[in-house]
Structure 1
């Protein structure tokens, strides 16, 4: 028997595209259309479905099995012998055939191969959560500041692409999102059925970092977001098909109106078949099938968050796909003390862009296992969803912002924004600062964080050079006074006891008063 090859067959047209573009509700939900409208994104050729007549002719071709499809890339993922696949170029509607084994592509063009998957490396009042052991991974990002102002992901939808979600339908830390109907649905693209509570446990742990909740032990970064759960990863096998399943799921997520895709998967080398290996030169954001799909997802108004990879200790240390895509937010891992995790993959992308983009805690990350036990695990697989959940909370605070604007706000808040490097990217974001800066765009004065534990920061107009701040107790007693400047806008409140205080802020023509809560 001849060996079976993996390949993509690309079509050169969509004859009925305009029919669908004229009636978008045939292909997109109203929520998806609204997301596009809010960001001034027009429908285009990629939104139209594949031409069914083309698909049928490929399906009925001798020796060909269709494994996945992509309307965005106008392609089918197929399996068959080299001869059977090559014969498809005789169809007038076929633009090209690309083998996953690039040595079979006569043009010599670098095309899709496969990966090192992180699933194999694994493993109305202010909200005052008891984060328990998960406190550090949230507070490192100043994420508690958003939670305290009721930005907990409500109204945002996150699609999780992973290896499976067993236990999410039964384990205690997922009870809250089950009882509140925050799991909107999903699909198992590997087995082609609706039971997404199956497969590998990796997705369960990933979801817990965002949607898990167990008092005094675990609070996810987006406990009030809604979720779609898509199984795209074949847990026991490394195969190029997984990239195609991911893109197919991303297209479904888009059509459902999802805001954020988070994926703790990475594709680079292949342990099962070296013919499907990528090389570092392929990590340019435009070569891998999954990275091209992720970039299209971003063009539809979706924020895509991806794990940078766990290859920092390997000979080939660089990020894989889709983390290499230009618009994807690639998340690396740091320890609980903000030091880069040794396993976290590094940048830059092959074409020299800063990667990873940002960092979050992935060493000893606090998560739930499939039985509901609160445990710790290592991997950019967990720094990624920790970050995705916080991004959902920030976007909830600024629903009018585009995905590009939110992405920029997050990156510009990071602690190495002015001095990025190949290990940390732009560094660790400060979501409290991102929230405040977002407010400041439309105001001449912002105070954050509030409530505060150690310091408060005053943002005020650049036209104001100096200001005087006085803090009063609830009884009117002056307890702190300090001169601040735009260059040094911080005030320590560590000496104050927990409670409510009042402040006055006086500068050239700018007078503000308000309340500060000291935790």
Structure 2
């Protein structure tokens, strides 16, 4: 009898827990949009405004905050708890029972509702996700100690020798916990240099991002970039600046975590960060009604993946660990690593060989490559919350190794745009011409990436620039500084003109997705000059 009562109680608790649904409520408009855009300092920091101007990123309606009056009204509705908000999506994440959430649709300011359980939507949803925490002047001469292999593998030590160590670049780290980062010896250099800029815990809604001790995953992730222990351990960007954002509670898996992540990305954008690192992925949840399938990892479904794409549009380089599902039935990358707009990082061992747990690309990623690149993920050296050096497996660590390396590269070529930075990294990689679903474009060589950038800059005043080649989707065009406009023509191998358009000063992008694979001639004609080049369409 007791056993039956216990089973009935457990069944009741299970049903009761599922009675609480998660959903995104989208609003119809925002307040004072024109005034905010006319005076952007009221909605963004000066650093954020400067970064956008430097990279020709438009400040638009997505930068305007959500209407707090709408949010306050939602909080008064029966059975509704507001969990998170997003200015990019003009939406809030709510929790409540299905009836109470659907009742919100009657409010005049609600545009539509998107349930995390897509079976509850009036129409099939357009957003989704999942999360996982991997267990996972003078030349500077570092003794890298234990990190020597993982740093030298991507040749970022060559940049360090020239004093490019991430100085002046700001990285936001989204993770599950940053235990003892504010006191550990491995981050003393970071604190002494004023490069630990603080952060926020979006889960517990507190500015004390170090208070939660459920996880030290973020501590270990951060160490691969920012850690420094004399003659024992050096990260890939020891002199970059860092914001730390807790977005992941380890005890549960719920779609609200993707909403926390988007909030953190918006905060990062407002603060003017240059890069985001996240070693999380979203795939399955405690409530199986919210689960994703491998086929949905196409960059278009998950809320977090769409948020990561907006972050890229805002001029932020987003670096994401590919995931640890390579030897499971899932196999492919999780969200937001599935977004074509992020740099997804898989894993290799100390010898540069693929590690079987590293998530792979799949047919779900149509027309683009995942992972993008790889770095050491097998037995990676990290610093734990007790300030001891240890080894962990996981793409959680290959991702930040690359992110820190990008910061050091960007310091070396500060005029490069976010898209150019990613192109240089990919073009420098070990199998750039023969990418696959295991290693992507391969292991980057950051010294080579810098050389590629400098070789282009040498003739910046005189020559047109276009990249990447080969390309699958877009060709970036940059004109000489001395020319304000030109005519661009593209011819196939038969001499037939397949594209003709005018281009203006600055960066232009042309879409070549519909071109057949092959070699093309691109001709630039300006008032006093004409230049012809070849490029390859894959």
2:442 equivalent among 406, 427, 430: 427
Of 184, 192, 205, 1:179 maps to 192
1:74-119: CA deviation from partner (whole Å, max 9, x where unpaired): 100000110000011112221110111111112133542x4250x2
Structure-1 residue corresponding to 2:488: none
Q: Report if aligned partners of 2:126, 2:300 keep a CA contact under 8 Å in 1.
A: no
For residues 460-512 of structure 1, the C-alpha deviation after alignment (integer angstroms, 9 at most, x for no partner) is xxxxxxxxxxxxxxxxxxxxxxxxxxxxxxxxxxxxxxxxxxxxxxxxxxxxx
1:363 counterpart = 2:378: yes
> CA, structure 1 residues 50+282, in 2 after alignment: closer, same or farther (shift >3 Å)?
same
Q: Deviations over 1:378-397 (max 9, x none)?
A: 10000000000000011111
Q: How does 1:222-261 map to 2 (within 5 A)?
A: 222-261=237-276
Equivalent residue number for residue 136 of structure 1: 149
Runs of 4+ in structure 1 displaced over 4 angstroms? none
Distance in 2 of aligned mates of 1:38 and 1:78: 36
Q: Distance in 1 between matches of 2:40 and 2:118?
A: 37
Normalising by structure 2, what TM-score?
A: 0.80
The alignment status of 1:437 with 2:472, answered yes or no, reads no
> CA–CA distance in 1 between the matches of 2:224 and 2:310?
26
Please give the alpha-carbon distance, in whole angstroms, between the structure 2 residues aligned to 1:89 and 1:348. Answer: 37
Correspondence for 1:60 = 76
Q: How does 1:7-156 map to 2 (within 5 A)?
A: 7-109=23-125, 111-112=127-128, 114-117=129-132, 119=133, 121-156=134-169
Q: Output the TM-score relative to the length of structure 1.
A: 0.83
For the residues of structure 2 that align with 1:387 and 1:163, how far apart are their CA atoms?
Answer: 19
Residue 402 of structure 1 corresponds to which residue in structure 2?
417
Question: Paired residue for 2:360, among 329, 346, 362?
Answer: 346
Question: Does the CA-based 8 Å contact 1:99-1:111 persist in structure 2?
Answer: no
Distance in 2 of aligned mates of 1:167 and 1:43: 37
Choose the corresponding residue for 1:207, options 222, 239, 253: 222
Name the SS of the counterpart of 2:409 in structure 1: helix
1:14-54 per-residue CA deviation (whole Å, 9 max, x = no partner) reads 14211211110111111100000001111111111112222
Between stretches 379-388 and 345-354, larger displacement belongs to: 345-354
8 Å contact from structure 1 (residues 364, 376) kept in 2: yes
State the Cα distance separating 1:56 from its structure 2 match: 1.9
Q: Deviations over 1:109-166 (max 9, x none)?
A: 3542x4250x2x3133101100011001010101111000110000000000000101
1-side partners of 2:295 and 2:358: how far apart? 19
Alignment partners' CA distance in 2, 1:267 and 1:309: 9
How far, CA to CA, are the matches of 1:203 and 1:83 in structure 2? 38
The equivalent of 1:337 in structure 2 is: 351
CA distance in 2, matches of 1:192, 1:296: 24
SS at match of 1:265: coil
Q: Which of 213, 219, 222 in structure 1 is aligned with 2:234?
A: 219
Equivalent residue, structure 1, for 2:501: none
Q: CA deviation at 1:436?
A: 1.1
CA distance in 1, matches of 2:407, 2:45: 20
Please state whether the residue corresponding to 2:70 is helix, strand or coil.
helix
- Aligned to 2:423, what secondary structure does the other structure show? helix
Question: Matches of 1:404 and 1:192 in 2, distance apart?
Answer: 33
C-alpha distance in 2 between matches for 1:433 and 1:351: 28
Residues 131, 257 of structure 2: 8 Å contact kept: no
Gapped runs of 5+ residues in structure 1?
445-519
- What secondary structure, in the 3-state scheme, does the structure 2 residue paired with 1:330 have? strand
Aligned residues: 441
- Whether the aligned pair in 2 keeps the contact of 1:21 and 1:44 (CA below 8 Å) is yes
2:202–2:264 contact (8 Å) kept in structure 1: yes
Counterpart in the other structure of 1:481: none
* Equivalent residues of 1:291, 1:321 under 8 A apart: yes
Equivalent pair of 1:99/1:105 in contact (CA under 8 Å): yes
CA RMSD of aligned residues (A): 1.4
Could you say if the C-alpha distance between residues 78 and 17 of structure 1 is closer, same or farther in structure 2, counting changes exceeding 3 Å? same
Distance in 2 separating the partners of 1:108 and 1:75: 18
The answer to whether the 8 Å contact 2:279/2:397 transfers is yes
Task: Find the aligned partners of 1:227 and 1:246 in 2 and give their Cα distance.
Answer: 16
Asked if 1:283 is matched to 2:297, the reply is: yes
Residue matched to 1:313: 327
Matches within 5 A, 1:473-488: none
